[in-house]
């Protein structure tokens, strides 16, 4: 396993971060424990979760993933062996079960959220605490373009950052990050930290894959120059880049099979691009999922790639991607396909 510094924190995180959002829904606690044990044996020290999980978000599974991780920490006593990250929800009109549907990124909500996470995780601190998505209306979660917000007053970023800073001062959070943000949002956090002498964000967790390289357009340079490393999520586009959904296949326990409303990576252009990437991998004797992950690992602005798996076979395959260095001709072919199908699944 390779390790990279999480900005200027002094923390060395594994090149692969173990994502957990299926635990408590698609995966049982015993399956999650097996994944955690294997991941640590392979050198993974970075675990990412969120108060929202399991996915898809439902009242019955809210906090279930954190609870499973907390039970594992209690059973194994390995809290000091991992770098643990979680997230606070933004406004949740589509999740009325979270803080009675009135979640915001103000002090009251953030302090309430972190106390809940710490209790479920059975720990007294988080290594990284992230804002899951902005409170303001903006183009995230696949939305293109920008329209003037019709939503009422959003909590100012200064106010959000002050609340996060309070948690750092209390020792409940060591470092902070953001997720599903835009270039404007990243710079607002950085400017606010400098002007108000508040903690600086160290990471941004946004989607990044062969099917969605939109991060490169406005965020990559900021990420690289400002040392706000990308924690790349959905690097396999909900598993589509493995090729398992091509030709209308729907494997029995596949996420898109179970939750067919997740269509973000099944656009017409997305399917055509996936076909091209899978064909490229086969041409060079590569596993298509490992090729897709290896490409993400290789980007200079990526600190860690967040993988998720519902089977141990998938986990073995995904983690083994760290041992693959793509030859120049494959990288060039990937760029060529991207020129033909640019960002088909933003």
Active site residues: 53
Max CA pair span of the chain: 55
Specify whether the CB–CB gap between 24 and 64 falls below 8 A: yes
Give the Cα separation of 2 and 17 in Å (integer).
Answer: 11
Provide the terminal-to-terminal Cα distance of the chain, rounded to the nearest Å: 29
Specify whether the CB–CB gap between 121 and 66 falls below 8 A: yes
Give the Cα separation of 237 and 245 in Å (integer).
Answer: 11
Mapped onto helix, strand or coil, the DSSP state of residue 78 is: coil
Specify whether the CB–CB gap between 101 and 92 falls below 8 A: yes
Backbone angles phi and psi of 299, in degrees to 5: -75, 135
Which residue, among 2, 74, 93, 8, has the nearest Cα to 36 in the 3D structure? 74
- Give strand ranges (E) for the chain: 3-5, 12-14, 16-19, 46-48, 83-88, 126-131, 173-179, 201-205, 229-232, 302-307
What is the enclosing helix (H) or strand (E) of 261? none
Q: Please, which residues have CB within 8 angstroms of residue 60's CB and are 6 or more apart in sequence?
A: none
Residue 217 β-bridge partners = none
């Amino acid at each position: 396993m390779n390790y990279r510094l999480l900005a200027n924190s002094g923390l060395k995180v594994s090149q692969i971060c173990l994502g957990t959002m299926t635990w408590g829904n698609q995966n049982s606690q015993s399956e999650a424990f097996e994944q955690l044990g294997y991941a640590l044996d392979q050198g993974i020290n970075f675990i990412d979760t969120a108060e929202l999980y399991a996915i898809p978000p439902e009242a019955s599974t809210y906090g279930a993933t954190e609870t499973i991780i907390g039970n594992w920490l209690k059973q194994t006593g390995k809290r000091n062996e991992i770098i643990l990250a979680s997230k606070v929800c933004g406004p949740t009109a589509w999740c009325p079960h979270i803080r009675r549907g009135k979640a915001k990124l103000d002090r009251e909500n953030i302090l309430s959220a972190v106390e809940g996470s710490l209790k479920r995780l059975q720990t007294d601190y988080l290594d990284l605490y992230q804002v899951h998505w902005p409170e303001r209306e903006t183009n995230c979660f696949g939305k293109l373009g920008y329209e003037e917000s019709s939503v009422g007053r959003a909590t100012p970023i200064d106010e959000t950052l002050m609340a996060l800073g309070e948690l750092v001062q209390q020792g409940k959070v060591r470092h902070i990050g953001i997720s599903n943000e835009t270039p404007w949002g990243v710079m607002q956090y950085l400017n606010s930290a400098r002007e108000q002498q508040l903690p600086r964000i160290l990471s941004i967790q946004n989607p990044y894959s062969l099917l969605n390289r939109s991060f490169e357009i406005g965020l990559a340079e900021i990420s690289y120059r400002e040392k706000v490393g990308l924690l790349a999520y959905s690097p396999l586009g909900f598993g589509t880049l493995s090729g398992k959904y091509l030709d209308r296949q729907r494997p029995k326990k596949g996420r898109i099979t179970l939750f067919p409303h997740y269509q973000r990576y099944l656009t017409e252009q997305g399917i055509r691009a996936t076909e091209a990437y899978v064909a490229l991998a086969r041409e060079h004797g590569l596993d298509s999922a490992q090729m897709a992950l290896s490409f993400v690992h290789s980007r200079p602005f990526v600190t860690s790639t967040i993988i998720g798996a519902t089977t141990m076979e998938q986990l073995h395959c995904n983690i083994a991607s760290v041992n693959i260095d793509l030859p120049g001709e494959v990288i060039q072919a990937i760029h060529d396909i991207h020129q033909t199908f640019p960002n088909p699944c933003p």
